[in-house]
Amino acid sequence: RSPIIVAPSLLAADFARLGDEIASISRAPWLHLDVMDGHFVPNISFGPGVISALRKHTDAKFDVHLMIDPVDPYLEATAKAGADHITVHVENAPHIHRTLQTIRALGCRPGIAICPGTPPEALSEVLDLVDIILVMTVNPGFGGQSFLESQLPKIRTLSRMIEDSGRDIVLAVDGGIDPVTAPKVVAAGARMLVAGSAVFGKPDRDSAIHALEGPFKE
Ligand code: DX5
Ligand code: ZN
C-alpha cells in the first residue's frame, strides 16, 4: 500500500495571516487550494492572484481544485500561478477531453473531481487522461460540512476502476475528513486526504496531520 498523503485545504485557514498559516503546515508535501466563483458553487474564495502570491512562501506542491464555470478561460492563469495539480469538475466541463489535455499541455497534472450526486461511471471515459480523481464527500462550496457516508461505495468502485485501468491515478477525497472518517476512506481505497477544518481548526497542525495519516487500526 502506498502511503497516505494529507493535503491541508487552505479554505479553513485564517485569510488575514495566510503566510503564517502555510508555514504552520510545512510538514505537509501538498497544499489544497479551493477556487470558487459564486456560480458553480455558492461561495467565493480566491483565485490565481492569491495562489501566485503564496507560491513564493512554501515548497509544498499546489493541488488546485477549480470550482468555477466556465473553467477553460482560467487554466493558463492557474498554471502560471504555480499549480502542480489542476482538478476540474466532470459536472461542468462540456468538452472534458480538451480541458484535461489543455491542463497537461500547460505542464500540470490533470485531475477530475466528482460531486456526491454524480455516479462513478461518469469518469469511465477519462481514466486515460487523468492523474488524480477527487471524490467529493460533501457538496462542494464550504468547509466544515459533515462527511457523506453514502460516498464510500463510490470510492470503492473508483478504486477498482483505477486498478483495472492499470494507470497510476491518485484517488483523493475531499470534505468532512477527520480522524474518524479518515480510516473509512482509506479502507475504501483513498490515498490522498484533503482536510480543511481537521487541520487548520486545530492549534497543533503537526499532530492534526499525523492523526489523519494513520496507521489506523482495522
Ligand atoms: C469544499 C472544498 C474542500 C473544503 C474541505 O468545497 O472543496 O476542500 O475545504 O473542508 P473540510 O475538510 O472542512 O470539510
Ligand atoms: Zn477542495
The rounded distance, in Å, linking the Cα atoms of 56 and 64 is 16
The catalytic residue among 37, 63, 174, 178 is 174
d(CA 170, CA 53): 27
Q: Is the CB of 196 under 6 A from ligand 1?
A: yes
Segments of the chain scoring below 70 in pLDDT: 1, 217-218
CB distance 175 to ligand 1 below 6 Å: yes
**pLDDT of the residue at 72:** 98
In tens, the pLDDT along 59-71 reads 999 999 999 999 9
pLDDT, residue 86, reads 98
Instruction: Quote the cell numbers at residue 144.
Output: 466544515
Predicted confidence at residue 214, as pLDDT, reads 87
**In terms of Cα–Cα distance, which of 88, 99, 26, 45 is closest to 63?**
88
Best mutation site among 86, 145, 177, 181 for ligand 1, i.e. most ligand atoms within 8 A of its Cβ?
Answer: 145
First-to-last C-alpha distance (Å) of the chain: 14
Closest atom, ligand 1, to C-alpha of 198:
12
Per-residue pLDDT tens over the stretch 9-49? 999 999 999 999 999 999 999 999 999 999 999 999 999 99
Q: Does 214 carry a binding-site annotation?
A: no
Q: Is the CB of 144 under 6 A from ligand 1?
A: yes
The pLDDT score that the predictor gives to residue 1 is 61
> Which domains, from first to last, does the chain contain?
5-213 (3.20.20.70)
> Is any ligand 1 atom within 6 A of the Cβ of residue 176?
yes
* SS3 of residue 153 by DSSP: helix
